[in-house]
Amino acid sequence: MACIEPRVLKGFRDFLPPQELTRREMVEKIERSFRSFGFVPIDTPALEYAEILLGKGGGETEKQVYRFTDQGGREVALRFDLTVPFARFMAEHRAELTLPFKRYHIAKVWRGENTQRGRYREFTQCDFDIAGSSSPGADFEILLLIRNTLGSLTGGQKPAGRGVTVRLNHRGLFNRFLASLGAGDQSVEVLRRVDKLAKIGLEGVRELLGELLGEEQSRRVLDYISLGKEGDFNQTLKKLKAAAGEGEDTQRLEALGHWMKDTGTEAGFVLDPSITRGLDYYTGVVFETFLDQLPGIGSVCSGGRYDNLAGLYSSERIPGVGASIGLDRLQAALEELGGGTARPGPGAAVACLGEGEAGRAQALAEEFRARGLTCEVFLEPKKLTQQFILAEKRGIPWVIVPPEKAASPGGPLTLRNIPARESREGLTIEAAAALIRDGARDSATPPSLP
Amino acid sequence: MACIEPRVLKGFRDFLPPQELTRREMVEKIERSFRSFGFVPIDTPALEYAEILLGKGGGETEKQVYRFTDQGGREVALRFDLTVPFARFMAEHRAELTLPFKRYHIAKVWRGENTQRGRYREFTQCDFDIAGSSSPGADFEILLLIRNTLGSLTGGQKPAGRGVTVRLNHRGLFNRFLASLGAGDQSVEVLRRVDKLAKIGLEGVRELLGELLGEEQSRRVLDYISLGKEGDFNQTLKKLKAAAGEGEDTQRLEALGHWMKDTGTEAGFVLDPSITRGLDYYTGVVFETFLDQLPGIGSVCSGGRYDNLAGLYSSERIPGVGASIGLDRLQAALEELGGGTARPGPGAAVACLGEGEAGRAQALAEEFRARGLTCEVFLEPKKLTQQFILAEKRGIPWVIVPPEKAASPGGPLTLRNIPARESREGLTIEAAAALIRDGARDSATPPSLP
């Protein structure tokens, strides 16, 4: 019988244990941070009515969406983000929820994108939102949560910037500035072109804006978006006020600036008028997050404030603020920084002294598992030296050699330290467990930025 | 603008926070148990080549599979189980893995099934296998792992059966018995019909077998599969040997029986010749797992030994043994038993004393989060009594009232116990955190069977 060639689709990938362990460890830290702020998880179906996911349709996204007709003749599609399902969720479950509703959602999404430049067609998003609040305090909470969450992944320490910088702006402020230039009716298109800054550079943006606004206006926009290049949040805010005047938006930014001081987190935030986020969707603050050691990979967590989350599905206006972490890009970045590969927990294995010994070996292993340790049982009755070699190959630092069959089941153990090539004999279970635990602690190096 | 009706597809569902928290807590316990045995996680794409997932095709499964042609003209399908992707994974990554390979995979799968009787079209499977070992010790390890994992979810205690019973059998033994009856060439069909026992009852099976084998043979098969109804593993094994003779299969079962004694786990296992598992795939031990308090819902974890995992994709024969937990059925069962709903962690919220206070409120909340507690910040400056009502509605047991603006930031706090409707004044952060932590401990009731 001819075999089918085993392969995955272009743009898709398998996660082998080291990558999957790292991923799960990242998700664990992210969840711990979300929950510490009182955020709760939800989940939604991978497959939904195409009409619901694509709304009135059109646009770049539609071409990338995996859609088809199901067995029942329904037009369905795989979700391409977690924002649209959340909007549908809020409209559908509004009566069951108390606002403000702080939710997170960590799940895969699918887009049939061009796979150049390390883009995948299946990737994981971690979205978190405060829905049902217009309060500037909600904006601040999301900003603080971004900083804490990403900080917990990069291993940065308080009270420094924690290894990440959040760059933020306000859509309303930018729009008022454009209106003062007489370019207010082109604001969506200007925002979209400015949003390409990181990709195409200042000269590229100058060209794009020149086509749209002419040389003079284009120059003024470029001057404006360069005002936040450096310097302190409040100084930049002063310059922006001078350029665009004051309004509800500058008051809100001012409050955010104060609260950064109150929490001692100013070092982690930059007011940057070049941050626009391309999407129509946002109406208030917008933000992007960069790793201090690797700014070139782009934003690893972006978001903003919106004023009508579920408008497509409900007549109730639900304002909110939220952000999304791109887990795949972040994982690649942490791996590049050399701190991103998780290892299995403190490991030991009970050596196999004979096929008939599997029961006693498992009973012994259970003693170690009950003490919180990972403990395997080797299944093949090979020579001990061969079992030590297997342990080395598998990255298992300790092998427990049980007492010979004849001895009492609670008899003394031999513990082999694989990396050190040393054995200790005559140990109790308690003493062996303590050695394994201490060894794990000594070699535990949590992933951290250099 | 007319709204689109917010709804999910038939057979699909949203998970609201209480259900999703429970789910995540279940997955956490399952993973902890898997890892304690040295199993490591993998992940594979949701979407694969249809040819790979469906193999030579045909059968019941094919009709249920979500398949379509993607933007690039490829025939693709959503995975309908985690076994086929694992087989493809093993063939593709064989060179990168050390055997035996102990992996687990927790992920969603999709089947366009009839949605009657609480079946969903999107559901979560937790698969775990030891691939690359023929050893009876591997069979035993999977059995012990099932017992420990399900036991950790039902809250059962050692050394009792932990609230679950694993019923096992050996395909080879059953086949030898059928051969001794002269019905060996019909064994696949007999196994399939016997597998319906739980669904259609003894009379139903008698009828189905009668059609196939005639009355006399059918009676003898029914007598045989009833041999394990009760009683101890070794007694049943003796009866089965008397009926079918001895072989490699009975030796293997005998070893398993001894090892159950060695580990003190006999109470959790029953040798049951009526367990057959319908799939061709299995060649050795097969097993199903039932909750002692709710056996009627059927098996919550099933599996068995196979001798050629990746045969469709590789010429290398990889034997192994594994099982799969149906998370959705298990979650429904635990909810029915009244122990399955998780609540968010120890919760507190900092009251809002004014819009401008968001920074100080967050700084205070950070003190509690740093002590491992969940701490929200209320965002709207309402009257304190209204904030207490909000806390009650949201199920938050404690509200922290910060010192007035004028006071020093480290000043004394007031802590409101919402269920008790009592306030304690003049507390330090440390004292308040201790009260919240103790309160959480007092009300912590881990999900357990009645």
Report the complex ipTM.
Answer: 0.91
Rounded Cα distance between B14 and B418, Å, is 30
Rounded Cα distance between A179 and A249, Å, is 14
Given this model, what pLDDT does residue B444 score?
A: 43
Given this model, what pLDDT does residue A280 score?
A: 75
Hey, are the CB atoms on B112 and A70 less than 8 Å from each other?
yes
**List of chain A residues whose C-beta atoms are within 8 Å of the C-beta of residue B44:** 8, 14-15
Specify whether the CB–CB gap between A290 and A300 falls below 8 A: yes
**List of chain B residues whose C-beta atoms are within 8 Å of the C-beta of residue A358:** 135-137, 140-141, 255, 259
The beta-carbon neighbor of B12 closest among A3, A36, A45 is: A45
Side-chain-facing half-sphere of B394: CA atoms under 13 Å? 28
pLDDT under 50 in chain A at which residues?
157-161, 444-450
- Candidates A437, A428, A432; CA nearest to A415 is A432
Q: Determine the residue of chain B that is closest to A71 in CA distance.
A: B112
Rounded Cα distance between B4 and A433, Å, is 60
Specify whether the CB–CB gap between A400 and A432 falls below 8 A: yes
> Rounded mean pLDDT of B56-72?
83
Kindly state the tokens that stand for B231.
């009683």
> Rounded mean pLDDT of B390-405?
89
Whether residue B450 is predicted with pLDDT greater than 50 in this model: the reply is no
Kindly report the nearest CA distance between residue B198 and chain A, in angstroms. 29
Kindly report the nearest CA distance between residue A323 and chain B, in angstroms. 18
Rounded Cα distance between B298 and B195, Å, is 12
Looking at every residue in chain B, the average pLDDT score rounds to: 89
Q: List, in sequence order, every residue forming a beta bridge with A416; answer none if it has no partner.
A: A399, A423
Q: Which helix (H) or strand (E) holds B141?
A: helix B136-154
Domains, chain B, ordered by start: 10-134 (3.30.930.10), 138-306 (3.30.930.10), 347-443 (3.40.50.800)
Burial class (CB in 10 A: 0-12, 13-18, 19+), A322: buried
Given this model, what pLDDT does residue B441 score?
A: 58
Given this model, what pLDDT does residue A302 score?
A: 96
The beta-carbon neighbor of A375 closest among B23, B36, B52 is: B36
Task: Give residue B427's pLDDT band: very low, low, confident or very high (50, 70, 90).
Answer: very high
Strand ranges across the sheet with A320-326: A40-41, A101-110, A122-131, A320-326, A301-306, A285-291, A164-170, A269-271
Task: Give residue B438's pLDDT band: very low, low, confident or very high (50, 70, 90).
Answer: confident
**List of chain B residues whose C-beta atoms are within 8 Å of the C-beta of residue A316:** none
Kindly report the nearest CA distance between residue A379 and chain B, in angstroms. 6
Residues 6+ positions from B255 with CB-CB distance below 8 Å: A355, A356, A358, B136, B140
Hey, are the CB atoms on B92 and A7 less than 8 Å from each other?
yes
- Rounded to the nearest 10°, the torsion over CA A147, A152, A154, A155 is 120
Given this model, what pLDDT does residue B297 score?
A: 87
Hey, are the CB atoms on A37 and B102 less than 8 Å from each other?
no
**List of chain A residues whose C-beta atoms are within 8 Å of the C-beta of residue B359:** 140, 258-263
Kindly report the nearest CA distance between residue B110 and chain A, in angstroms. 9
Specify whether the CB–CB gap between A349 and A380 falls below 8 A: no
Specify whether the CB–CB gap between A157 and A224 falls below 8 A: no
Q: Which helix (H) or strand (E) holds B109?
A: strand B101-110
- Which one-letter amino acid corresponds to residue A170? H
The beta-carbon neighbor of A14 closest among B89, B112, B356 is: B89
Q: For B155-195, how does the pLDDT look when each residue is reduced to its tens digit (9 = 90+)? A: 654 444 478 999 999 999 989 999 998 888 888 888 888 88
What is the count of residue pairs from A and B with beta carbons less than 8 Å apart?
310
**Pick the residue with more confidence: A335 or B106?**
B106
Whether residue B274 is predicted with pLDDT greater than 70 in this model: the reply is yes
- Candidates B398, B410, B341; CA nearest to B374 is B398
Is residue B271 helix, strand or coil?
strand
Whether residue B205 is predicted with pLDDT greater than 70 in this model: the reply is yes
Long-range contacts of the stretch B67-76 (C-beta < 8 A, 24+): B68/A66, B68/A68, B68/A69, B69/A68, B70/A9, B70/A66, B70/A112, B71/A63, B71/A64, B71/A66, B71/A112, B72/A10, B72/A112, B74/A9, B74/B49, B75/B49, B75/B50, B75/B51, B76/A9, B76/B47, B76/B48, B76/B49, B76/B50
Given this model, what pLDDT does residue B186 score?
A: 86
Is residue B47 helix, strand or coil?
strand
Whether residue B280 is predicted with pLDDT greater than 80 in this model: the reply is no
Q: How many CB atoms lie within 10 A of CB A293?
A: 17
- Angle, CA B347 vertex, CA A135 and CA B443 arms, to 5°: 155
Kindly report the nearest CA distance between residue B79 and chain A, in angstroms. 12
Given this model, what pLDDT does residue B42 score?
A: 98
**List of chain A residues whose C-beta atoms are within 8 Å of the C-beta of residue B262:** 359-360, 362-363
Q: Given the DSSP bridges, would you call strands B285-291 and B164-170 parallel, antiparallel or unpaired?
A: antiparallel
Q: Determine the residue of chain B that is closest to A109 in CA distance.
A: B46
- Candidates B177, B80, B128; CA nearest to B320 is B128
Whether residue B135 is predicted with pLDDT greater than 60 in this model: the reply is yes
Hey, are the CB atoms on A14 and B258 less than 8 Å from each other?
no
Task: Give residue B2's pLDDT band: very low, low, confident or very high (50, 70, 90).
Answer: confident
Hey, are the CB atoms on A362 and B264 less than 8 Å from each other?
no
**List of chain B residues whose C-beta atoms are within 8 Å of the C-beta of residue A88:** 6
**List of chain A residues whose C-beta atoms are within 8 Å of the C-beta of residue B259:** 358-359, 362
